[in-house]
Structure 1
Amino acid sequence: MLQKLKEKIVSHAKHQEPHECCGFVVLKGDEMVFIPCKNQAEDKENHFEISPEDFLQANSQGKITALVHSHPNGEPVLSLLDRQTQLVADLDFWLVCNDEIHIFPKIPPLLGREFNHGVMDCYTLFRDFYYLAGADFPDFERDDYWWEDGFNLYLDNMATHGFERLIDESAVQIGDVILMQVGADVPNHAAIYIGDQMVLHHSPRRLSKRDLYDGYWFKHTHSIWRFKQWSKLDFTVPLNSLALHLS
């Protein structure tokens, strides 16, 4: 990021305090420029809203590459509403907090992803689904066929990251993580239950997709896990993303 651009954005954010600032980063020719917008939200200290006119004005100046806003009284993480807005806007988000800019890349569509182990795989899909619902889970470096090298990456991390194993697997609900054991001694594949006996998952050499949870996948199920704080999340956001790319 160009230092001059960063300084301009941080300066604008400080000038707008205690209100949240907002604006766009636009590629104008070969130059990245910041175009500030008016925050027209009712509660400007905790939210931001950009008018359609400001969006059109920014769009007329070049290619919009990122949406900028600030958290003058908050943490350097996107709120659930921010994540919903990012999904609709389909833009990277640049968040100003404590005089620093934190960049949150846009989440690619959950369906139709090309498989690339360690970059775009079943765990990536798991993380992104929950990110859209309002939860952040760490990434971890994982070699291909890690389960053949004595690692147990799913079972070693599920409880640590706030999940508990279901005793009654017939009580599966939307958002539950289904761990599957496919040609391995440990669970090495994850799917998300999305309702109506359907799961979302990403298998090697295949595009990410929805599948009926029966037959092959049911046979290879190792365990089902529920996020303990699931009631604080909003699974309608990732489900809406799925619906959007199914239409």
Structure 2
Amino acid sequence: MIEKLKQAILAYAKTQEPHECCGFVVLKGDETFFVPCENQAEDKVNHFEISPEDFLQANSLGKITALVHSHPNGEPVLSLLDRQTQLAADVDFWLVCGEEIHIFPKISPLLGREFHHGVMDCYTLFRDFYYLAGADFPDFERDDYWWEDGFNLYLDNMAAHGFERLVDESAVQIGDVILMQVGADVPNHAAIYLGEQMVLHHSPRRLSKRDLYDGYWFKHTHSIWRFKQWSTLDFTVPLNSLALHLS
């Protein structure tokens, strides 16, 4: 990040405290600059809202590459509403908090992703689906065919990151993670249950897609896991993202 750009954003955020600031990072030619906007939200301390006029003005100056806002009294994480806004805006979010700028890249469409192990794979899809729903999980380093090298990445981490295994797998619900064991001694593939016998997953040499949870996938199911704090999440956000790219 260009130091001049960083300082311009931090300085503007400071002038708006205790309110959340907002604005855009705009690219024109070789120049990247910050366009501050007025926060139009009713509760400016806890929320931000940018007017259509300010958006059009920033867009007329060049290509909008990021939306900037601040959490002067909060944590350096995006709220569920922030994530919903980011999904609609389809740009990176830069969050000012604690005199630092935290960058949250936009989430690629959940459907139609090209497979690249460790970058765009079944675990990436798992993480991004839950990110849109309001939960953050780490991005583990994982070599291709890690399951052949004595690792058990899914089972070693599910419980540690707030998931519990379902005893009654017939009670599967939207958002549950289905671990599958395909040509391996440990579960090495994950899918997200979408309801109505459909799952979202990403297989090697395939685009990410919705699939019927039956036959082959049902046969290779190892276990089903539910996030313990699922009631705090909003699965309509990733589901809306899927619907958007299905239409």
Q: Same fold (TM over 0.5)?
A: yes
Inter-partner Cα distance in structure 2 for 1:115 and 1:51: 38
Structure 1 stretches of 4+ moved >2 Å? none
TM-score of the superposition, structure 1-length normalised?
1.00
Q: How does 1:155-170 map to 2 (within 5 A)?
A: 155-170=155-170
1:40, distance to aligned residue in structure 2 (A): 0.2
Q: Is residue 238 of structure 1 aligned with residue 225 of structure 2? A: no
1:29, distance to aligned residue in structure 2 (A): 1.7
RMSD: 0.3
Q: How does 1:191-202 map to 2 (within 5 A)?
A: 191-202=191-202
Inter-partner Cα distance in structure 1 for 2:102 and 2:5: 14
Percent pairwise identity = 90
Residue equivalent to 1:70 = 70
Inter-partner Cα distance in structure 2 for 1:241 and 1:84: 10
1:103, distance to aligned residue in structure 2 (A): 0.3
Query: 1:8-50 CA deviation, whole Å, 9 max, x = no partner?
Result: 0000000000000000000022100100000000000000000
Query: 1:118-140 CA deviation, whole Å, 9 max, x = no partner?
Result: 00000000000000000000111
Residue equivalent to 1:112 = 112
Inter-partner Cα distance in structure 2 for 1:29 and 1:36: 19
Inter-partner Cα distance in structure 2 for 1:9 and 1:2: 11
Residue equivalent to 1:210 = 210
Q: Which runs of 5+ in 2 are unaligned?
A: none
TM-score of the superposition, structure 2-length normalised?
1.00
Inter-partner Cα distance in structure 1 for 2:96 and 2:31: 21
Residue equivalent to 1:47 = 47
Inter-partner Cα distance in structure 2 for 1:5 and 1:40: 23
Residue equivalent to 1:13 = 13
Inter-partner Cα distance in structure 2 for 1:175 and 1:50: 31
**Letter of the 1:150 counterpart:** G
**How many pairs were matched up?**
247
SS in 1 for 2:95: strand
Residue equivalent to 2:26 = 26
SS in 2 for 1:58: helix
Q: Which has the higher helix share?
A: 2
Residue equivalent to 2:154 = 154
Q: Which runs of 5+ in 1 are unaligned?
A: none
Residue equivalent to 1:123 = 123
